[in-house]
Amino acid sequence: MSLILEHIVGSDEQGLTVEILLKRHFGISSGLLCELKYSDRIFINNKVCRSVDTVETGDRVTADVAEYCEDFGNITPFKYELDILYEDDFLIIVNKPGYMESHPCHSNYETTLANAIMYHWSQNGEYHKYHIANRLDKGTSGICVIAKNRFSHSRLSEQMQNGKFQKYYVALVHGKLSAPDGVIELPIGRVSKSVIKREVRADGKFAKTIYNTITCNDKYSLVEIKLETGRTHQIRVHFSHMGNPLVGDWLYGNGDNEKEIISRQALHAGRVEFFHPLTNEKLSFTAKIPDEIKNLINPA
């Protein structure tokens, strides 16, 4: 399957190089451009060209950005009924359950989201590499955005860096927050001698979390969160530092003693907003709060 980017050269673009055109109109990264160049997938009027070739008014410049795969590499397909929110030739958006890893890891190479997506693609006769744009921890449920090719992944990564990829979460935390709405700006860094644990520390990286309380009772608060930065475990670290750890969080709270209440941290990626990598259309997706979180503050 080919995925063709196409641009007709305007009179004000005459004399520009193909490289400048592709970067200007499609945001193609230098790395991908290099790959396309050496695999003869850039064309002027259907003839293979170099990235340094110049164009004339009316020329048709095209680039094939598909990734040509014959199999799924080392990711074995796993039969699983996915909750697919959206899919096209560039993206697949999935609502991940809170007990599933986002991609294969040392403890699980067979039943992750990546394995399930490979099975889904195999049923449609598709073969793609797995480019996840917003990886979620195993214990976090919600929306995962996966690109089907390097072009899409690069465009999504660029949006994350410039703040155009917006991520909203819902978390159930212990107690009532000192301020029902607010902004947490505290630097986060790795805990000394720990592989995974983070903490608020002066020499950490800047981290900003915006939140507002949706509802609360005597035990818990349900909060909506917008991340302005994407540090590892940012939400979990910030709310634990504030004295309101997430319910079920074994690493930053009391989750080991709350397994009868919930088997994971009560965190859900409920909404994402970004621009389509090709059309630049603004896309917005939502995923309902799982009952295992919702019922703790609003019992059915």
Residues 290 and 176 in one domain: yes
273: nearest Cα among 257, 263, 281, 284: 284
What pLDDT, on a 0 to 100 scale, did the predictor assign at position 67?
83
Q: Whose structure tokens read 């750890």?
A: 245
What gap in Å lies between CA 288 and CA 14, rounded to an integer? 50
Please tell me the predicted confidence (pLDDT) of residue 1.
52
Residue 98 resides in a domain: yes
pLDDT of residue 74: 86
In this structure, the answer to whether residues 113 and 232 fall within a common structural domain is no
Are both 180 and 265 inside the same structural domain? yes
Mean pLDDT of the 185-213 span: 96
Q: Are residues 117 and 227 in the same domain?
A: no
Q: What CATH number did the domain enclosing 122 receive?
A: 3.30.2350.10
Note the pLDDT of residue 2. 65
179-206 average pLDDT score:
96
In a domain, 108, yes or no: yes
Residue 73 lies in a domain: no
In a domain, 177, yes or no: yes
Whether 74 is covered by a domain: the verdict is no
Beta strand ranges found along the chain (DSSP E) = 4-8, 42-44, 47-48, 60-64, 84-87, 91-96, 131-132, 141-147, 166-174, 181-185, 188-190, 198-200, 208-216, 220-227, 267-275, 282-286
SS3 213: strand
Same domain membership, residue 57 and residue 99: no
pLDDT digits (tens, 9 = 90+) for 239-258: 999 999 999 999 999 998 99
Q: Return the pLDDT at 280.
A: 93
Domain count for the chain = 3
Binned at pLDDT 50, 70 and 90, residue 298 comes out as confident
Q: Above 90 in pLDDT, residue 134?
A: yes
Q: What is the pLDDT of residue 68?
A: 75
Mean pLDDT of the chain: 94
Give me the pLDDT at residue 236, please. 97
For the chain, the first-to-last Cα distance in angstroms comes to 48
Domain range for 104: 84-162
Quote the CA–CA distance of 28 and 44 in Å, as a whole number.
Answer: 17
137 is an active site residue: yes
**Which residues 6+ apart lie within 8 Å of 165 measured at CB?**
133, 134, 156, 159, 272, 273, 274
CATH number for the domain including 26?
Answer: 3.10.290.10
Whether 256 and 180 share a structural domain: yes
Tokens in use for 92?
């697949």
Q: Are 157 and 133 in contact (CB under 8 A)?
A: yes
pLDDT band per the 50, 70, 90 thresholds, residue 107: confident
Domain boundary among 139, 162, 185: 162
Q: Identify the pLDDT of residue 165.
A: 95
The Cα-based distances of 50 to 40, 73, 237 in angstroms read 8, 30, 49
Residue 180 shares a structural domain with residue 213 = yes
For residue 183, is it within any domain? Answer: yes
Domain match, 203 and 290 both = yes
The two structure tokens encoding residue 127? 């073969």
pLDDT score, position 257: 92
**Quick check: 300 pLDDT over 90?**
no
Residues 194 and 291 in one domain: yes
Average pLDDT over residues 146-159: 94
Q: Are 151 and 209 members of one domain? A: no
78 assigned to some structural domain: no
Q: Average pLDDT for residues 170-186, to the nearest whole number?
A: 96
Same domain membership, residue 263 and residue 152: no
What is the predicted pLDDT for the residue at 244? 97
Burial class (CB in 10 A: 0-12, 13-18, 19+), 190: middle
**Catalytic hit among 40, 88, 137, 218:** 137
Q: Evaluate whether residue 26 is within a structural domain.
A: yes
Measure the CA angle with vertex 227, ends 148 and 284; round to 5°: 50
pLDDT confidence of residue 73: 79
Tens-digit pLDDT profile for residues 268-282: 999 999 999 999 999
Q: Give the bridge partners for 64, in sequence order.
A: 4
Q: For 3-43, what is each residue's pLDDT tens digit? A: 899 999 999 999 999 999 999 999 998 889 999 999 999 99
pLDDT category at 187 given cuts 50, 70, 90 is: very high
Measure Cα distances from 233 to 2, 6, 26, 158, 178 in Å.
38, 40, 32, 21, 21
Copy the structure tokens of residue 195: 């592989």
**Does residue 111 share a domain with residue 225?**
no
